[in-house]
Amino acid sequence: MRLLFKQRFFSWFDSYDIYDETGKTVYTVEGQLAWGHCLKIFDAFGHEIGMVKEKVLSFLPKFEIYQNGSYLGCINKELTFLKPRYHIECNGWQVEGNFMEWDYQISDRFGKSVAVISKEVFHWTDTYVLDIRDPENALCVLMLVLAIDAEKCSRD
C-alpha cells in the first residue's frame, strides 16, 4: 500500500492530507491548539480515528498515540548520533532514519520491514511517500510519521 502525505500550505496549525495511489483522500489530519503538538486524524468520512499528542515534559521527544480514543502507547526518540532512531512502545517496532532525516525504515522486532518512508524534496510543504507492507498497519505508520514530522518541526 502506498500513501502520499502532504502538509497543507495555508493553515494556522499543522494540517495534512493523506492520499492513496489513485489520488483519493484517505485521511485528513488537523492540528489542535495545545501545549506541544496535538494532531487528530480523521478518516475520509470525517470520523476521528486517531490522535498523536506530544508529552511536553520529557527528556527526549515522546508522543502518545491513540486509536479510536484508546491509548495505544508511546513513540520515543532514542539518543543516537548522526542517524535518528525511534522506538514504538505499543508494537515493538523500531524506526531508523538516514543522516539527512528524509528517509526512514520501519522494522518489527524480528527485523522484518513494516514500511519505508521517503521525503520528497522540491515541494513547498513537507511531502512524504509511505510504502506500507500490510494495509492494516497504515494508521499506525501514519501516526509514526506525524510524530517524526512534529519532532523535527519542534527542533527547527
Q: Which domains does the chain have, with CATH numbers?
A: 2-155 (2.40.160.200)
User: Residue 143 in contact with residue 50, Cβ under 8 Å?
Assistant: yes
Can you list the positions of beta strands (E) in the chain?
2-7, 15-19, 25-31, 38-43, 48-54, 62-67, 70-77, 85-88, 94-97, 103-107, 113-119, 127-132
pLDDT at 154: 61
> What is the rounded distance in angstroms from the CA atom of residue 146 to the CA atom of residue 126?
11
Retrieve residue 17's grid coordinates: 492530507
In tens, the pLDDT along 130-149 reads: 999 999 999 999 999 898 88
Q: Which portions of the chain are predicted below pLDDT 50? A: none
Range list of H helices, the chain: 138-155
